[in-house]
Structure 1
Amino acid sequence: MAAEDSDLGGFLRSRRARVNPTSFNGATGIGRRVPGLRREEVAALAGISVEYYARLERGQKVRVSEAVLGAIARALGLNDLEATHLHDLAHSVEKIPTAARAQDHHGDAVRPALQVITDALGPLPAWITNYRMDFLAGNREARAVYAPLFANPEDKGNRARFIFLNPVSRAFECRWERVADETVGALRWYATRHPDDLELSKLILDLNLRSPEFRSRWDDHNIVHHRSGDVHVNHPAIGDLKLPYERLDVTHDPGLSLFIHVVEAGSTLARRLAALVADGFPASPGGSVCAPRGL
């Protein structure tokens, strides 16, 4: 990989291009050939030399202090997540090992206790994933909700593969474009924090080669890391489902996360989920499309 194509350089260039030059004194859009700030403007705002900043954008191995990274983050208007990502990228270039990376869970199986926990959380759908987005364990409710994820063996129970390589995902995900953006943003985040995971690298390479939708988003260098949110799917058995979720890290197994769909007991949604897991997956007349956005 050429230096100019490094993840650090690509991220810095993408954030620099995003900044409105009129936000800064003396910087205007007049006579500019590219959007955003010039390298020399970022360097001036960060209080560093242009050559030093240029070396960072070229992805060259540079020992950079936390103070300088903070100054660059402020100059580029990065949010907290992006600033953390910048630090991770810079440290990755420096090849600084971390104890957390050495202890990450890299396997495809989970401890039996985690399966017991997900089962005990029923009737709430609950499942365990790793940072590669593999569905590793889950209760009946979770497997019922995400049944399309397991229908095609080529997806290998991997959410990213399902989203970008399985056409069924566009019928299942009511907000496919948003989900696609978030999936790529999350993989960007994980790839930087787990640079030594060969399987994660192979997954990203495969998606880049096989999916233009993935490749265009990967080149944007956007990142996402949600702790809570919601999913909106069109389930093939019962139709439209909107489910909030909470994400909890598994402390004893770094790299694993427990996801739980939080559903109020006795609610209409809870009764629909109960019907989904009882006696197979019963069909629901009239439930074949997503509800209009905002409902």
Structure 2
Amino acid sequence: MNQIVELGEFLRSCRGRLNPADAGMPRTARRRVPGLRREELAQLAGVSVDYYTRLEQGRSRTASPEILESLATALRLDDTEHAHLFDLANRRPIQPRRSTPSPAEQVSPAVHQLLTTLDAAYCPAFVLGRRTDVVASNPLSRALIADFDTMPANERNQTRFLFLNPAARELYADWETVAADTAAMLRMDAGRRPEDPQLGELVGELAVRSKHFRAYWAERRVHERTEGTKSYHHPVVGDLTVTYQALALPGDSNQTLFIYSTEPRSSSETALRFLATWSIEPLTDEARTAAPNEPDTAV
């Protein structure tokens, strides 16, 4: 048996069985082939169409474990199919399919105290961990962006919020830039932890459910957390712009503290101060009417 040919035939068969709607592909009036097109699967897996075509046609003799994992996720293979795929490619999986999830991340009491102090100074702040999980945040951050503390544990993730929660599109004035940078930041994490099964599951879910994530992921950009600005269309206080700093926390290379601030005496500072009051006590109708909503003029 020619395993290279068998590998291509197996990929073609799995591609033909996958329902395009289940893979998040838009409905079209007519499809000439069952399942996904080659270019659609290549996009989901983050590989070039030419490479995937050669692999499926038996014209490529190499496929790395990372590429095979991406194909298995895109094709939504079960454990038996996953093992068969690696057998045909004569490769060993990066990690067992049923690996134990890593324990939930936590921050130290000192970091919690720092978040509280920053909240008192009208500075939204939060900590991102592995896979862009939101590990901790202060009340002003939750009032500005989203209350991750009230979400199920597996949904407390910045990338997931950006691409799968419709409220994020309304919240971020520069959503396209933020989304592209966040996807690039997640790819940086993936390069550092290719064996992380939870990260692979997150990427697979986002690739299936978000066409925007698929497009940004296929660009293969990487982005380091540093500093910059973000603009918001907040439903309570209107438009505001913040500057952020990203600081690596000592003692844990996986965790980064993000601190937001505003230009002194700007409309954005006024908006954050009002939001701080709102985050402590729900607004009355009169207070909501009085909320600042003028455009931010700070640079």
Is TM > 0.5 for Structure 1 vs Structure 2?
A: yes
Q: In the alignment, what sits opposite 1:98? A: none
Q: Are the structure 2 counterparts of residues 225 and 146 from structure 1 closer, same or farther at C-alpha, using a change threshold of 3 Å?
A: same
TM-fit CA distance, 1:285? 5.9
Contact 1:239–1:288 (Cα < 8 Å) also in 2: yes
Aligned equivalents of 2:227 and 2:177: distance in 1?
15
Q: In the alignment, what sits opposite 1:280? A: 281
Q: In the alignment, what sits opposite 1:271? A: 270
Aligned equivalents of 1:289 and 1:156: distance in 2?
33
| Structure 2 SS opposite 1:259 | strand
TM-fit CA distance, 1:241? 1.5
Q: In the alignment, what sits opposite 2:127? A: 128
Aligned equivalents of 2:241 and 2:129: distance in 1?
23
Q: In the alignment, what sits opposite 1:232? A: 231
| Identical pairs, percent | 29
2:129 is the counterpart of 1:111 = no
Give CA-to-partner distance per residue, 1:151-180, whole Å, 9 cap, x none.
765972211111111111111111111122
TM-fit CA distance, 1:217? 1.7
Aligned equivalents of 1:266 and 1:259: distance in 2?
22
Question: Map of 1:1-295 to 2, 5 A cutoff?
Answer: 107-122=104-119, 123=121, 124-147=123-146, 153=152, 156-264=155-263, 267-278=266-277, 279-280=280-281, 282=283, 283=288
TM-fit CA distance, 1:121? 2.0
| Structure 2 SS opposite 1:234 | strand
Give CA-to-partner distance per residue, 1:233-291, whole Å, 9 cap, x none.
11111011110000000121120000101335555433321211215354356867977
Give CA-to-partner distance per residue, 1:205-251, whole Å, 9 cap, x none.
11112112111221221121130011111111101111000000012
Name stretches of at least 5 consecutive residues in structure 2 with no aligned partner: 1-6, 9-40, 50-59, 66-92, 94-101
Q: Are the structure 2 counterparts of residues 193 and 114 from structure 1 closer, same or farther at C-alpha, using a change threshold of 3 Å?
A: same
Give CA-to-partner distance per residue, 1:29-51, whole Å, 9 cap, x none.
xxxxxxxxxxxxxxxxxxxxxxx
Aligned equivalents of 1:119 and 1:139: distance in 2?
6
Give CA-to-partner distance per residue, 1:133-166, whole Å, 9 cap, x none.
2221122221221136567659722111111111
Contact 2:241–2:262 (Cα < 8 Å) also in 1: no
Q: Are the structure 2 counterparts of residues 267 and 212 from structure 1 closer, same or farther at C-alpha, using a change threshold of 3 Å?
A: closer
Q: Are the structure 2 counterparts of residues 289 and 267 from structure 1 closer, same or farther at C-alpha, using a change threshold of 3 Å?
A: closer
Aligned equivalents of 1:231 and 1:193: distance in 2?
26
Q: Are the structure 2 counterparts of residues 218 and 207 from structure 1 closer, same or farther at C-alpha, using a change threshold of 3 Å?
A: same
Aligned equivalents of 1:117 and 1:157: distance in 2?
21
Q: Which moved more, 1:135-144 or 1:279-288?
A: 279-288
Contact 1:207–1:215 (Cα < 8 Å) also in 2: yes
Aligned equivalents of 1:195 and 1:274: distance in 2?
42
Q: How many pairs align?
A: 213
**TM-score under structure 2 length normalisation:** 0.58
Name stretches of at least 5 consecutive residues in structure 1 with no aligned partner: 15-53, 62-94, 96-104
Q: Which amino acid aligns with 1:280?
A: E
TM-fit CA distance, 1:183? 1.4
Give CA-to-partner distance per residue, 1:99-125, whole Å, 9 cap, x none.
xxxxxx963322222111111223211
Q: In the alignment, what sits opposite 2:56? A: none
Q: Which amino acid aligns with 2:146?
A: A
TM-fit CA distance, 1:59? 5.7
Contact 2:248–2:256 (Cα < 8 Å) also in 1: yes
Aligned equivalents of 2:105 and 2:206: distance in 1?
19
Give CA-to-partner distance per residue, 1:70-93, whole Å, 9 cap, x none.
xxxxxxxxxxxxxxxxxxxxxxxx
